[in-house]
Amino acid sequence: MSMQDERDTTAADYVMGLLDAAGEAAAEKRLESDPAFAAAVSAWRERLSEFDTTAEPVTPSPDLWRRIAETTKKETISALPGTRNAVLGATVWDNIRFWRTTGLTASVAALLFAVIALGALTTSKELRRDLVALAQSKPVYVAILVNDTTKEAGAVVNAFANGRVELIPLKVIDVPPGRTLQVWTLWDRAVGPKSIGITGQSRTLQLNLESLPETVADQLFEITLEPEGGSPIGRPTGPILFKGNAARTL
- Could you tell me how many residues make up the chain? 250
Residue 95 lies in a domain: yes
More confident residue, 246 or 137: 246
- 68, 101, 136: which is the final residue of a domain? 136
Q: What range does the domain containing 215 cover?
A: 141-248
Least confident of 82-86, 177-181, 237-241: 82-86
The better pLDDT of the pair 21, 90 is held by: 21
In a domain, 36, yes or no: yes
Same domain for 146 and 129: no
In a domain, 30, yes or no: yes
Whether residue 86 is predicted with pLDDT greater than 70 in this model: the reply is no
Whether residue 149 is predicted with pLDDT greater than 80 in this model: the reply is yes
Which of the pair, 66 or 143, is modelled with greater confidence? 143
Task: Compute the distance between CA of residue 218 and CA of residue 204 in angstroms, rounded to an integer.
Answer: 22
Residue 154 carries which DSSP code?
E
Same-domain pairing of 35 and 19: yes
Q: How confident is the model at residue 193 (pLDDT cuts 50, 70, 90)?
A: very high
The predicted structure's pLDDT at residue 45:
78
What is the model's pLDDT at position 89?
47
127 and 166 share a domain?
A: no
Which of 18, 39, 54 is the last residue in one of the domains?
54
Radius of gyration of the chain measured on its C-alpha atoms: 30
Question: What are the angstrom distances between the C-alpha of 111 and each of 72, 99, 105, 200, 238?
Answer: 22, 18, 10, 63, 70
Asked if 94 and 14 sit in the same domain, the reply is: no
Strand pairing of 141-146 and 179-186? unpaired
CA distance 221 to 186: 7
Shared domain for 47 and 111, answered yes or no, is no
So what's the pLDDT on residue 39?
85
Residue 73 forms part of a structural domain: no
Q: pLDDT value at position 15?
A: 79
| pTM of full prediction above 0.85 | no
Q: What is the DSSP string of 140-175?
A: SEEEEEE-TTT--EEEEEEE-TTS-EEEEESSPPP-
- 169 backbone dihedrals φ, ψ, rounded to 5°: -65, 140
Both 102 and 164 in one domain: the answer is: no
Are residues 125 and 82 located together in one domain of the fold? yes
* Mean pLDDT rounded to a whole number for the chain: 76
Whether residues 167 and 218 share a domain: the answer is yes
* Total count of domains within the chain: 3
Does a structural domain hold residue 170?
yes
pLDDT at position 46, please?
A: 72
72 within domain boundaries:
no
Judge if 225 and 147 occupy the same domain. yes
Q: Is the per-residue pLDDT at 1 higher than 60?
A: no
Q: What are phi and psi of 110, to 5 degrees?
A: -65, -40
Task: Note the pLDDT tens digit of each residue in 163-191.
Answer: 889 999 998 998 999 999 999 999 888 88
On whether both 239 and 154 belong to a single domain, the answer is: yes
Q: For residues 40 and 42, what is the distance between their CA atoms, to the nearest angstrom?
A: 5
Residues 96 and 20 both lie in one domain? no
Q: Report yes or no on 126 lying in a domain.
A: yes
How high is the pLDDT of residue 80? 47
Does the residue 184 lie in any domain? yes
Q: Is 229 left (phi over 0), alpha (psi -120 to 50) or beta?
A: left
One domain for residues 187 and 235: yes
For 249, residues 6+ apart whose C-beta sits below 8 A from its C-beta are 138, 139, 140, 141, 142
